Amino acid sequence: MSDPESHRLTRDDVAHVASLALLELTEAELDEFAGQLSAVLEHAKDIDALDVGDVAPTHHPYPLHNVFRPDVVTSADVREQALAMAPEAEDGQFRVPPALGEEP
């Protein structure tokens, strides 16, 4: 992959990232997205130039720690409603194509 200094994504970079994200792109999309995503990363060069090594990162804007609740079941049983929304269900479970290999 391209190095972070350049901030330019190639078509191959875009294809690799799309594959990681379980997306398929057309040839035209690969070209279009390479340019558009590079432009956003180029814009981010402004923060690259900052020296923030001694600044702590913020992951969460409100300081909450260790949120506990009593260990009792509170959620409703919505199994039937959930399965009714499934693309495919069988015997009370979600049905999917084979996990490995070609379909028999």
Partner 1 sequence: MSVPSTATEIAAAVSSGSVSASDVVESHLAAIDARESEIHAFNTVTADQARATAADIDARVAAGESVGPLAGVPVALKDNMCTNGIATTCSSKILEGWEPPYDATVVERLREAGAVIVGKTNLDEFAMGSSTENSAFGPSRNPLDTSKVPGGSSGGSAAAVAAGFAPLSIGSDTGGSIRQPAALCGVVGMKPTYGAVSRYGLIAFASSLDQIGPFAKNVTDAATMFEVIAGHDPRDSTSIPEPAADVHTKLNAGVEGLRVGVITELMGEGQLQGFEPEVIAQTRAAADALAAAGATVGEVSVPSVIYGLSAYYQIAPAEASSNLARYDGVRYGHRAPGGANTAAMMKASRTAGFGAEVKRRIMLGTYALSAGYYDAFYGKAQRVRTLIIDELAAAYQNFDVLLSPTSPCVAFPIGAVSDPLTMYLNDTCTIPSNLAGHPAISVPFGTGAGDLPVGVQILAPLQGEAVMFQAAAALEAAAPGGQS
Give the binding site for partner 1 (CB under 8 A): 1, 4, 9, 13-14, 17-18, 20-25, 29, 33, 36-37, 39-41, 43-48, 50, 52, 55-62, 64, 67, 69, 76, 78, 81-82, 85-88, 94, 96-103
Among residues 31 and 82, whose Cβ is nearest to partner 1?
82
Separation CA 33–CA 40 (nearest Å): 11
Task: Name the minimum Å distance from CB 81 to partner 1.
Answer: 4
Q: Is 34 within 8 Å of 13 (Cβ atoms)? A: yes
Minimum distance from residue 66 beta carbon to partner 1 (Å): 10
Could you tell me the smallest distance in angstroms from the CB atom of residue 28 to partner 1?
Answer: 11
